[in-house]
Structure 1
Amino acid sequence: MVRGKVHLKKIQNPVNRRVTFSKRKSGLLKKAKELSVLCDAEIGLFIFSATGKMYESAKPSMNRIIGKYQKISASTGDKLELSDNLELYGTFI
């Protein structure tokens, strides 16, 4: 049995959209954790819902990952713009 192709477009029904977000968010967090464990990778993940609620997952810690990102990007000069709100995470390692 073959699944049909999924067409990516915004889900119009708000209830279905929230349910899909919840399920997909859980799956994404699970996959990030699995990748971290299986491959000994350091992973930081932010997810913002349509209502503005933030979900995060990090292995080993978000402060360490953001600090490492800033250190590496400063040395390469190839820096993505990070929000000024990162001070919420305290002093970076």
Structure 2
Amino acid sequence: MIPKSPLEDPENAAYAFARYKRLMRFMFAVTVGVVIIALALLYERNGMVSPHFFIAVALGIGFSMMLMSALMGLVFLSNGTGHDASVDNNLPRSDED
């Protein structure tokens, strides 16, 4: 029988996702700060180049950082709630080992 995941409990899930949202808000603030610093440094060193360049840099850095934060946040959520420990890993061994 497959054990139940701790995330199936509504209280535990609500706490875990509240923590995840708090982490994502913090990482959004960090991302905005990094994008502003990167754009300021680019403007300082290169002057005014095409506005499309600055837009592309801001979107590239912002999207990359938010994607990494979301994925790492999900890893922390999964591990922190005990969801990883509830997975049944009793697979049959192969003879090729």
Does the TM-score normalized on the shorter chain lie above 0.5? no
Determine which structure has more spread, i.e. the larger CA radius of gyration: 2
Bigger relative contact order, structure 1 or 2 (CA pairs below 8 A, ≥6 apart): 2
Q: TM-score, normalised by structure 1?
A: 0.32
Bigger fraction of residues in helix:
2
Bigger fraction of residues in strand:
1
